[in-house]
Structure formats: structure tokens, C-alpha cells
Amino acid sequence: MKPVSGIVTETTIHNSFSIKRLEDDVPYSEEWVRLNYHHIVIIEIGKGVLTIDEHSFDIAAHEIFLLAKGQICRFEKVSSVSGYHISFGDCFWERVPSSASNCKAVLFNNAAANQKLMPDQTEINEFLNLFKNLLTEYNVESYTNQMDVLAAYLKIIMIKLANVKIVKEETFDSQDYIIYRKFMELLSSKYHILHAVNDYSELLNITPRRLSELCKRCANKSAKEIINGQIIAEAKRLLQFSSHSVKEIAYLLNFGTSEQFSHFFKKNTAISPANYRSNFIHIGV
């Protein structure tokens, strides 16, 4: 049985950055963990299952997983894993030159769409070399500006990852895509407060119609669908992994009443919050 409560919060990372070699000691394999940092996991060899929120991914060699702050995860049925694991916080990312900021937005602001990347053999070899060099730099004796050097390595990795994600994506540098990325950045920090398309269009100084049109072009979803998806994802996490009542969850997500929240949840998932929680508890029973 999977518990509704009892998840742990990710522990604080010194300087908001770390890189580790993945061997037998696989992180987050004992408990469900809510992440306080962004993570990049590259699998050199290995088998198992990585569950992120409500989705489970089979682990295989030459895959890269992206996990965003706020998500809940656990490694399950893992054996013979090797690779690398990067963790970084927003305050560390501020060290990275601004020219790479778009790459972070593309990869992490809608993490559910980018959870698993599958580079080709040439790309995976390049990533493994980058991660190895970054780990070597991370482990040397501390020196002045070391964090800036690590941030430079992270910038290169993020740009390369974004290229895997958006290969042949002609809209990447278009004005529409730039506005879309700004929208996703706003949404990632304000979805629990702002629910309406016009809330975000006003912040972006464009019309709601233009915001929805560019979201359709860039993500094949309307702005409202993207907003609702973010709210539903967090609602599911809270129902699955917290002991908050439905009323408390409604309050946390800025709904006027629990009835409004329940109606919204059922409209978007075809199941009530109470039944969703009940079904999740009984998985595997």
C-alpha cells in the first residue's frame, strides 16, 4: 500500500549544488521525497523504475531524467545502476550566465513534458564526458571562484540538454516562444495563487487571446489547459502524499471553497478528489 502521508522533504544542499556518481547508493530509494532542487540524472547502465508524481518510468542505459523542484519521486526496483546525479537550486542557477536562462525554462518549467530524454550515442558520450569533468572539478580542493566554474559547466550541460529537447524546433528563438517561456516561468511560481489566463496575460502585457494562441503554437495546448494542468499536478501530489484534507488543499491552491476545488478537480480528471485519494491508497493492496 502506498501511504498518503509520510513523505520526506529533500535535505539542504551546501551551496545549492552537488554532483555525485551513481553506483550502488541510489538516492530516494527508501522513501518518497519532495524535491527542493532541480535534478538531472544520467543513466550509464542500469535497470529499475523511477516514479515521479503519479508516473512511473522504466530505467535503461543511456537515458536522462529531469526532475523539477516541487515534484515527488522515488527510485524503485533499482539494480546495477551507474551514472551521474546533479542537483541545483535557483540561487546557484543565478551564477549561470543569463544567455542560458531560456534553456532552464524550456527544460524545467514544464518538467512533466521533459521527464525523460533519450539522446543518441554521440550525445550520450558527450554528456558522460561533461558530467565526469564536472564531478572532477566539484571534488577538487575549494578555491576562489570554484562555484562560477561549476556554474559554467552546468550552463554547457543545460544548453546541450535543451538542444536534445528542441532539436529541429524552429520556434525556439521566435518572439512567441520567448513569451511562452516567460509565461511558464510565471506559472511555475504563481499557479497556486493565479488561476485565470488574463492574470498572466496582464503580467506579460499581451491579450489573453494572444497568450492562448502562442501556447497552442509552442505547446499544442491552450493557456487555460496549461494552467489547469499545473494546478491539477500539485493537487494530485497533495492528495497522494499529504494528510491535508480536501478543504485544506482547496485553501492551499486558492479556491474559495472545497466545493469549487472538487468541481474543478473532477472536471479535469473525471474523478473526485476523495475518490482519487482513495484509489491511490489502495494501489497494490
Question: pLDDT value at position 89?
Answer: 93
Question: pLDDT value at position 226?
Answer: 93
Task: Kindly report, residue by residue over 238-284, the tens digit of the pLDDT.
Answer: 998 888 999 999 999 999 999 999 999 999 999 999 999 988 664 44
177: confidence class by pLDDT, cuts 50, 70, 90: confident
> Any idea which residue has 525523460 for its cell?
116
Question: pLDDT value at position 6?
Answer: 64
Residues 10-34: what's their mean pLDDT? Answer: 87
Question: pLDDT value at position 1?
Answer: 35
Nearest to 5 by CA among 254, 284, 280, 285: 280
Question: pLDDT value at position 284?
Answer: 41
pLDDT of 170 over the 70 cut: no
183: confidence class by pLDDT, cuts 50, 70, 90: very high
195: confidence class by pLDDT, cuts 50, 70, 90: very high
What structural domains and CATH numbers belong to the chain? 8-165 (2.60.120.280), 175-281 (1.10.10.60)
Question: Which residue spans within the chain are E strands per DSSP?
Answer: 8-9, 17-22, 33-34, 38-52, 55-59, 63-67, 72-88, 116-117
Residues 31-55: what's their mean pLDDT? Answer: 91
Mean residue pLDDT of the chain comes to: 87
C-alpha cell at 128: 558522460
In the 8-state DSSP scheme, what is residue 10?
P
Question: pLDDT value at position 285?
Answer: 35
138: confidence class by pLDDT, cuts 50, 70, 90: very high
Distinct helix (H) and strand (E) counts, the chain: 11, 8
Q: Indicate the burial class of 260 (C-beta count within 10 angstroms; 0-12, 13-18, 19 or more).
A: exposed
> Measured over all CA atoms, what is the biggest interatomic distance in the chain, rounded to whole angstroms?
57
C-alpha cell at 214: 502562442
Task: Kindly report, residue by residue over 62-83, the tens digit of the pLDDT.
Answer: 999 999 998 999 988 776 789 9
Q: Are 22 and 85 in contact (CB under 8 A)?
A: yes
pLDDT of 189 over the 90 cut: no
Question: pLDDT value at position 133?
Answer: 96
Residues 11-36: what's their mean pLDDT? Answer: 87
pLDDT of 16 over the 50 cut: yes
Residues 149-171: what's their mean pLDDT? Answer: 80
Question: pLDDT value at position 279?
Answer: 82
Question: pLDDT value at position 254?
Answer: 96
Tell me the whole-structure pTM to 2 decimals.
0.79
Question: Which residue spans within 102-156 are E strands per DSSP?
Answer: 116-117
pLDDT of 3 over the 60 cut: no
Nearest to 67 by CA among 83, 53, 47: 53
Question: pLDDT value at position 98?
Answer: 72
